[in-house]
Structure 1
């Protein structure tokens, strides 16, 4: 963990470089030093079918959900939420200047009792020289 999933209206790829945004958000999460690098996942998923507000053809959205394991303080969660929001807002400045864009971020803590993981990336990264 953490896993950051971006869902976005499919009228945005011409306005946002989602591959670069994923890399930037990955770096933002790593820079917080709250999460093991081997657990960071950022993925962007286009949504082809949607209805937004008044159905204006220019309406668009980017919805981000960060799923994290338990164990971070409220201050740490606020810090990572603020850093991600700052990065997202900076990448969406032009869109936010229009009356047709919705940006959201939510942090969800995962109950460890109901979470199963198998990961071969962590051991590889632990064995790399610093």
Structure 2
């Protein structure tokens, strides 16, 4: 973990800041130091059908959900969330200054009992690291 879902309104999908968002969330998650490389997943989706705020077509949004595995204490989760959100805000600040933009970020903890995995990425990443 973490798994990140990033959504943005279509009217900002081509903005340079939004184009960099996927990489920023990926890097920021790893920089927290609490998530394993083989567990990181980032999805990016442009939403074509939406209404934001008062319905003005200039209004835009970015929504990021970071789902993490269970078991970390609140202070650790909060520190990681603060770090990732700060990176998102820093990246999107110029866009925020240019146009109406709503940015939302949420961290969700997955159930320890109902979270199933079939994953060999950790093994492949370790093998690649050894062979370098």
Calculate the TM-score normalised by the size of structure 2.
0.89
Aligned length: 130
What whole-Å deviation, never above 9, does each CA across 1:38-88 have from its counterpart, x for those lacking one? 000111111110111100111000000000011111111111111111111
Greater fraction helix: 2
Partners of 2:92 and 2:24 lie apart in 1 by 13
Q: CA deviation at 1:24?
A: 2.1
Q: Which residue of 2 aligns with 1:66?
A: 66
Q: Which residue of 1 aligns with 2:8?
A: 8
Q: CA deviation at 1:33?
A: 1.2
Instruction: Answer yes or no: is the 8 Å Cα contact 1:70–1:109 preserved in 2.
Output: yes
Are 1:54 and 2:54 an aligned pair?
A: yes
Partners of 2:18 and 2:123 lie apart in 1 by 29
Q: Which residue of 1 aligns with 2:86?
A: 86
Structure 1 unmatched runs, 5+: none
* Aligned-residue CA RMSD (Å): 1.7
Deviates more, 1:106-115 or 1:93-102: 93-102
Q: CA deviation at 1:96?
A: 1.9
Q: Which residue of 1 aligns with 2:104?
A: 104
Partners of 2:119 and 2:69 lie apart in 1 by 15
SS of residue in 2 equivalent to 1:55: coil
Q: CA deviation at 1:112?
A: 2.3
Q: Which residue of 2 aligns with 1:44?
A: 44
SS of residue in 1 equivalent to 2:124: helix
SS of residue in 1 equivalent to 2:35: coil
Q: Which residue of 1 aligns with 2:75?
A: 75
Structure 2 unmatched runs, 5+: none
